[in-house]
Amino acid sequence: MKKETVLKRAVSCLLAVTLTAALCGCAGGKKGGNSDKFTVGIPQDIDSLDPHDAVAAGTKEVLFNLFEGLLKPDSEGNLIPAVAQEMQEKENGKVYEFTLRSGIKFHDGSPVTVDDVAYSLNKCSATGPDGTPLVPEFANISKVETDEASSLITITLKQADTDFPAYLTCAITPEANKDKEDTAPIGTGPYKFVSYTPQDRLVVRRFDDYWGTKANIENVTFKIVPGTDTLVTDLEGGSIDMFARVLSEQARTLSENPEFQVLEGTMNLVQALYLNNGREPFKNEKVRQAICYAVNRQEILDYVSDGKGTIIGSSMYPSFKKYYMPELSDRYATDVEKAKSLLAEAGFSNGVSFTITVPSNYTQHVDTALVISRQLKEVGINAEIKEVEWGTWLSDVYTARNFDATVIGVDASNLTASALLSRFESKASNNFINFSDAAYDENYRKAMNETDDAARTESFKECERILSDRAANVYIQDLPEFVVIRKGYSGYRFYPLYVQDISLISRD
């Protein structure tokens, strides 16, 4: 009898505790967006807090809020002065002179000195174990000189390069913090570092001594939400307020929710069916062109992203206003008959078979490959799809170049045309499609050695034209990017690079 009462008491105790906990939770269950706190969901972990060591685009877009270079990109794709107040180009792009912004401070309150600038630039130009600097283009730096009294920093190059300022977005950090750059980083950006828990979150706070327009929201948390499965519930439940790059079906679901706004921009990448030009049957230009004619790009857009996205015709996307050539988009308007006759001319009237290798983690690329494969059947091409893991894609396709064709999006790491075009030079180490064309190489070299801006742009455009004419790849689109933000916040702006500028966001 006694034991029964003990048991009963234990059960009722448990129930009481559970209920109390549940009631406490009701009272404390707050929804996001009530205080001056904003939580941004990010799809992957930070690979390094040291802005110079970080490689992943997903990390750089976050660190953009914490660090600045001498110059920084704006949302229009221009380079604007940041740590430097002004820049002077001398000797046709061989010497660059910067004046340090007066009164600029680091997050810890210490003033930025010319020595800190020299330290950061030297850190990025020091060669690693493989012989290339952290910023590969810095191999071109001959010397960095500073003058404390006049706050001048002079960079002299080995070879003139008018694109060089684009690489100077490399972060300026204090030399005094050199041992703690990967644990407690300090920069000059609109937000300063507060804390970081691997795999979980990065917390930042507004930097009140920022030299420019100060950020609106005081406390920002970047919360890691891997996998997109829980994304919608996390947004609806209120644990995150914003997420960039949601899939089109998620965008559709969330746009029906009155609590959210879905903004549409572009992902800034060149999505294409990349063809291994060094392999049969793609060694044959006619086969490549036949595939270009066989593909219906609008149908791909309709299927993959509800008709959103921008059709492109070469390795350049629309945000690069200066270099983008919209006229190339309809160079290969869908023409099944022409595709068939080109295949026959090339001696493949019995049909062609090849494999499209796609990284399975990118839903959009897998979907695109599916549509292409179906479209190619109509002209007698049998394209089999092989989904691989991202790691396998990197080693087999990208590095070993052991593939027939692949669907992927190629992005630009900085605001120069060469960021997108350099890889198609025959000898380029990242020319994973083995494209080789003498005219292309010549135009590319001409552009790189040209100091006159108009002539240089023209040569780059010629390169784009060649890629299109020779059907180096089957260019498809610049994918749409959907950004979901809780209603009540505004000011988000799309950048032509991988950037999430949180400082512009404000509460209405």
Partner 1 sequence: MKSVLKKFLSMFITLFVVSFLAFAAFAVIPGDPALMRLKTNATPEAVEALRHSYGLDRPFLTRYFSWVSGLLMGDMGTSYTYSAPVSEIIRSKLMVTLYLTALAFVIMTLISIPVAVHCAKNDGGLTDRVISAVNQVFMSVPPFFAGIIITYIFGIGLRIFVPGGYVPFEDDPAGFIYYMFFPAFAVAIPKIAVSVRLLKSTIMKESKKDYVRTAYSRGERGNTVLYRHVIWNAMIPAVTFYAMQFVDMIAGSIITEQVFSIPGLGRILLTSIEGRDYPVVLAVLMCVAVAAVIADTVSDLGVIALDPRIRE
Binding footprint of partner 1 on the chain (CB under 8 A): 1, 3-4, 7, 10-11, 14, 21-22, 24-26, 28-32, 44-45, 47-48, 55-56, 128-132, 182, 197-200, 223-227, 229-230, 233-234, 236-240, 361, 389-392, 394-396, 398-399, 429-430
Rounded to a whole number of angstroms, the minimum distance from the CB of residue 103 to partner 1 is 35
Q: Take residue 267 and report the two structure tokens written for it.
A: 């992902």
CB of 240 to partner 1, least distance (A): 7
| Nearer of residues 29 and 258 to partner 1, judged by Cβ | 29
112 vs 497 by CB, closer to partner 1? 497
Residue whose C-alpha is closest to residue 112's, from 103, 120, 125, 122: 103
d(CA 492, CA 502): 7
Least distance from partner 1 to the Cβ atom of residue 477, Å = 20
- Residue 213 vs 233, nearer CB to partner 1: 233
133 versus 491: smaller Cβ distance to partner 1: 133
Q: Which is nearer to partner 1, 102 or 430 (CB)?
A: 430
Min separation Cβ 228 and partner 1, Å: 11
What is the C-alpha separation between 402 and 394, in angstroms, rounded? 11
Contact present, 40 and 222 (Cβ < 8 Å): yes
Shortest reach from residue 30's CB to partner 1, in Å: 8
Q: From the CA atom positions of the chain, what is the Rg in Å?
A: 26
| Nearest in space to 324 (alpha carbons), one of 440, 439, 457, 165 | 457
Query: Backbone phi, then psi, for 222, in 5-degree steps?
Result: -100, 110
Cα 290 to Cα 275: distance, rounded to the nearest angstrom = 12
Q: Which is nearer to partner 1, 331 or 401 (CB)?
A: 401
Residues 6+ apart with CB under 8 A from 496: 73, 75, 76, 77, 268, 319, 320, 415
Q: At what angle do helices 453-469 and 438-449 cross, to 10 degrees?
A: 160
- Shortest distance (Å) from residue 213 CB to partner 1: 31
Backbone angles phi and psi of 406, in degrees to 5: -150, 150
Q: How far is the CB of 178 from partner 1 (least distance, A)?
A: 16
311 token code pair: 């059709």
Contacts of 121 (CB under 8 A, 6+ apart): 138, 141, 144, 153, 155, 170
Prior bond to 185 cis, omega within 30? Answer: no
Q: Work out how close the CB of 306 gets to partner 1 at its nearest, in angstroms, rounded to a whole number.
A: 25
**How many angstroms separate the CA atoms of 79 and 278, rounded?**
38
Our CB check for partner 1 shows the closer of 7 and 455 to be 7
Beta-strand pair 79-81/489-490: unpaired
For residue 221, the cross-strand partners are: 39, 203
Angle at 240 between CA 239 and CA 245, to 5 degrees: 145
- Of 236 and 450, the one with the shorter C-beta distance to partner 1 is 236
Cβ of residue 334: shortest distance to partner 1, in angstroms?
A: 30
> CB of residue 496 vs partner 1: minimum separation in angstroms?
18
Backbone torsions φ then ψ of 480, nearest 5 degrees:
-75, 145
Question: Cα separation of 408 and 127, whole Å?
Answer: 30
Of 11 and 455, CB closest to partner 1: 11
Identity of the residue, 43 or 491, whose beta carbon is nearer to partner 1 in the bound complex? 43
